[in-house]
Structure 1
């Protein structure tokens, strides 16, 4: 069960790149026939399909990399059509809970598997954060989360937090005054107090760009805080600073815990370049997500097993975006990224 069709060729470019390296076989591209899609079909030597009826003839799995209805596309309708034809589907996020429920009903009826891919949870730096957060939770109770993201990837942020905390419920959000490009929310997720800053801005002339950041997350406990500096690393542990006093009421600078480094990088200290992110990390994440879908299909898993979690995730995301309000619309040109050398 390795034959895969990719539906959509904008962000679908990352999926096509992922399939080029195996172990899956790209057997077609489903699109509307744009010159871009035709070019990719020629480049990868696969047929350009234009009808979901053609997909079961050439593939077992489909990656639906088309915007869902909640963000103005027809991805969920396409996913449902493929599921009804018995094709297992990996669908790019975000997806409205109502659309997702329809997909899951179609999957169950046809004996197919439907997974939502939030991508970033499958990247190595994020997986390292989630595993470290789980070990930390086994030692001490989380006291707070301080996070920031772009509105484009808020759905994925909540998935990362849900996995790190072992669940999403209970949650609550309340808006705070906007500060510059960021809108602030306070509340809870998984019962843990949350402060969240979201760049709630979209540039219609280039809607997938102009993000100030993807994700930045700090999980705090009594003993210190764990920070994912960026979606792609590094991951930093900072023990809590505490200087007690000795019998003479002086700072006890000989205490053993004061020998701890004030910050330690967990995993690689060097963050990947943007070329490595787009060319290696993201395709690796797609392959991992596809592997999970393939395993679930081979085991005959109930699509509702993962689906229930994502239904909850989607409802949480909808509550958060309602609290955020409508994004500010921008018209922006390409930014000039600065190197570290220019400010050092």
Structure 2
């Protein structure tokens, strides 16, 4: 016994799981990293050593005081044993937070297992916990209390489709009804994105997904993570990227008659448009560096997800969230079926731009703007 009152947690999986491990390093956190659960690869041994915790190879090896496990291993739909492991952990009375995505039937089985064993199970869509995504969702909900949604335009990489629909579901306060037409056929000149058109939550929607995958490096080579626009009669709200910024763009309004420039330019509702900016950044204009994302923002998102799980443990499972996640799984599977298998690509070496390169782009843009 160490006398430590914090909740002990183990992390299963050490690839994306390292983000989870990083989340539990802070000593002031109400949770304590108590071990790594993995098969014993060189990577998992190195992670256990780096974070100074035991390496366990099987759920049966875990100490009896382990209350929470984060399962960050692919589920059965993606060819991994994550869901089976989650079931074994719940059978031992361990509460489970599992990283997305899952097949609908896998999730249903996990929720049933949680009820059977008297534990709490949560699926983590992850990106909903990023501050820019929360900012976008909060602004969207406020906007849609004032304005009717006219359209949704969204894009993501193949690996991010589940979380894209989660962001949209949160922003639109639901997912049903949905219906999408199959994308156009492929050709030699087809772009990397495939386009689905239809309805989501009753709103006309255009969804573009980069349906490509490098089997040698499946986590890389997405052209973007998430980009979302929700349009209304007043204008549109855009999450430019997963990590910001969030931008409001007023709908263009051009005068129809010659008018006194000093006269109020407003509609019947009395809204004065003379000083209203055409575009506004909501929150910080700059987004975090990838170093900050991996070291701070992503681990903080994990901590927020685990905190939700801890609250559920205290008050009992939130069944409404389980039903929402089941609906999300069904939507993701419907869209995946329409898209078909991703095109396999050989990504090769990434060719990133450094900070100096981006500054050069900015100078070139400023020079061009001055020339105009």
Q: Is 2:234 aligned against 1:227?
A: no
- Higher relative contact order at CA 8 Å, sep ≥6: structure 1 or structure 2? 1
Larger gyration radius, structure 1 or structure 2: 2
Residue 234 of structure 1, CA deviation:
0.3
Q: What residue number does 2:326 align with?
A: 311
Counterparts in 2 of 1:101-250, with a 5 A limit?
101-177=108-184, 179-246=190-257
Deviations 1:88-147 (A, max 9, x none): 100000000100111011100111111111110001000000000000011011110000
Cα RMSD (Å) of the superposition? 1.7
Selected match of 1:17 from 13, 18, 22: 22
Q: Distance in 2 between matches of 1:82 and 1:90?
A: 11
Q: Distance in 1 between matches of 2:332 and 2:146?
A: 29
Q: What residue number does 2:83 align with?
A: 76
Residue 58 of structure 1, CA deviation:
4.1
Q: Distance in 2 between matches of 1:112 and 1:251?
A: 66
Q: Distance in 2 between matches of 1:236 and 1:4?
A: 38
Helix, strand or coil for the counterpart of 1:80? helix
Q: What residue number does 2:345 align with?
A: 330
Residue 55 of structure 1, CA deviation:
3.0
Residue 341 of structure 1, CA deviation:
2.3
**Which ranges of structure 1 fall in alignment gaps of 5 or more residues?**
none
Q: Distance in 2 between matches of 1:111 and 1:140?
A: 43
Residue 340 of structure 1, CA deviation:
1.8
Q: Distance in 2 between matches of 1:85 and 1:252?
A: 73
| Count of aligned pairs between the two proteins | 342
Q: Distance in 2 between matches of 1:104 and 1:185?
A: 31
Q: Distance in 2 between matches of 1:252 and 1:329?
A: 60
Kept after mapping to 2: 8 A contact 1:202/1:330:
yes
Kept after mapping to 1: 8 A contact 2:183/2:339:
no
- What is the TM-score of this pair, normalised by structure 2? 0.89
Selected match of 1:48 from 45, 52, 55: 55
Helix, strand or coil for the counterpart of 1:323? helix
Residue 249 of structure 1, CA deviation:
8.4
- What is the TM-score of this pair, normalised by structure 1? 0.96
Residue 191 of structure 1, CA deviation:
0.8
Deviating above 3 A after TM superposition, structure 1's stretches of 4 or more consecutive aligned residues are 248-254
Deviations 1:31-86 (A, max 9, x none): 00011111111122211111112335241000000000111101111111111211
Deviations 1:185-214 (A, max 9, x none): 111111111101100000011111111000
Q: What residue number does 2:310 align with?
A: 294
Residue 271 of structure 1, CA deviation:
1.0
Kept after mapping to 2: 8 A contact 1:27/1:58:
no
